[in-house]
Amino acid sequence: MNLKILVTAGDGIGPEVTNQAVAVLKEVAAMGGHSFTFDAKRIGGVAIVQDGTPLPADTLNAALASDAVLLGAVGGNEFNSLPPGKRPEAGLLQIRAALGGFANLRPAFAFKELAVNSPLRPEVIEGADILFVRELLGGLYFGQPREWNRAAGEAWNTMRYTRDEVARVARIAFQLASRRRNKVCSVDKANVLEVSQLWRATVTEIAMEFPTVALEHQYVDAMAMHLMNRPRDFDVVVTENLFGDILSDESGVITGSLGMLPSATIGGKVNLYEPVHGSAPDIAGKGLANPLGAILTAALILRHSAGLEAEAAAVESAVRKTLEQGFRTPDLARGDTTGLKVLSTTEMGAKVRETVKSQLSAVRS
């Protein structure tokens, strides 16, 4: 298996966590005789400083010529006063648009060992396993017109969707649900917004193509509550761009830390892989970042871009085993830490790699 991976590590903890994800991928490649090649390019704040733009042409061209892009995170406090189009985050939105992936898969799996780390009771989250399918190229993020008219003291953004944009992401959600627990929950605000009424009508229409999958609709405000009260009831959750952004971070409460959440964006020219979390300027450069979200993102590369399902599952199970053995990064060691071993970012990466190696050699012998 040959795979050309472009790493755009970005800012803050981005480089720290992607280094660990890349090291895991290298281990998998070495064990299986696969040829994975890695190239690194700038994006975000680091690119603004060095190249004068958050997405240099060189980075974009390399991304389009790769088989998969692994992104760390972008953003930093020093850029907070810039307008949206000039900020590090603009580089991320531009690369998403250029690569064309519209379905951002954000699995949230509650590892049993991390239940104590969540403010929710263990019996509420135990076994929770949700796949958010976030529409990534439409809605408020990309809708026109958008402007801050300072003279008028007025600003506006536009939440816009076409029927086809909703239909294509809904189809992905139903297809994925048919391989899981056959449930789709579509989240909108159809009691207030026309764009949500189009969303709901379209999702309902696409559901007819998937008679074995049960569809329910929830309003986004109620959904924010249901996710905390009864997360185990949900299988696939499909929603528009901004609602998906918000609800997926909220699911960090179910998993015990935002640092546990991976993502894969599919459906475009080149798949884009990024952990859900941001550049975490508050902990950057201190070795405190949890690399497991990025490592689980590496597993998604193996699954969705390399077709190496067994290896993807081995990485996921190595993460579980590492947690079972009591290893934690500081974000996973709140409260009573008796019996736990708190590790730095690089130490955690090394532990997972060790386990990946022994799992894959066990499979091969």
Which residues are catalytically annotated?
141, 189, 221, 245, 249
Q: Are 69 and 99 in contact (CB under 8 A)?
A: yes
Residue 280 found at the interface with ligand NAD (CB under 6 A): yes
Task: Name the one residue in this structure whose structure tokens are 């299988």.
Answer: 235
CA angle 56, 57, 59 (to 5 degrees): 70
Min dist CB 281 to ligand IPM, Å, is 13
User: Which part of the chain contacts ligand IPM (CB under 6 A), choosing from 8-16, 89-97, 315-323, 349-357?
Assistant: 89-97
Min dist CB 135 to ligand IPM, Å, is 11
Residue 331 found at the interface with ligand IPM (CB under 6 A): no
Closest CA to 142 of 97, 192, 197, 190: 97
Min dist CB 355 to ligand NAD, Å, is 19
Distance CA 343, CA 192 (A): 47
Smaller CB separation from ligand IPM, 28 or 247: 247
Q: Are 298 and 292 in contact (CB under 8 A)?
A: no
Min dist CB 125 to ligand IPM, Å, is 21
Min dist CB 34 to ligand NAD, Å, is 27
Interaction residues for ligand NAD, span 88-127 (CB under 6 A)? 89, 92
Residue 201 C-alpha from the chain's centroid: 27
Distance CA 315, CA 299 (A): 6
Residue 92 found at the interface with ligand IPM (CB under 6 A): yes
Distance CA 277, CA 74 (A): 10
Residue 245 found at the interface with Mn ion (CB under 5 A): yes
Give the DSSP letter string of 281-313.
Answer: TTTTTTT----HHHHHHHHHHHHHTS--HHHHH
Min dist CB 277 to Mn ion, Å, is 8
CA angle 53, 64, 291 (to 5 degrees): 75
Q: Could you give the string, one character per residue 189-228, with x where binding to ligand IPM holds by CB under 6 A and - elsewhere?
A: ----------------------------------------
User: Which part of the chain contacts ligand NAD (CB under 6 A), choosing from 46-54, 107-115, 187-195, 288-296?
Assistant: 288-296
Coil/strand/helix, residue 74: coil
Residue 274 found at the interface with ligand NAD (CB under 6 A): yes
Smaller CB separation from ligand IPM, 45 or 256: 45
Q: How many beta carbons lie within 10 A of that of residue 363, not counting itself?
A: 13
Tokens representing 210? 């998937």
Give the binding-site size for ligand NAD (rule: CB under 6 A): 21
Closest CA to 72 of 247, 251, 256, 276: 276
**Binding region for Mn ion (CB under 5 A):** 245
**Binding region for ligand IPM (CB under 6 A):** 75, 89, 92-93, 245, 276, 278
**Binding region for ligand NAD (CB under 6 A):** 13, 17, 73-75, 89, 92, 258-259, 274, 277-283, 289-290, 293, 331
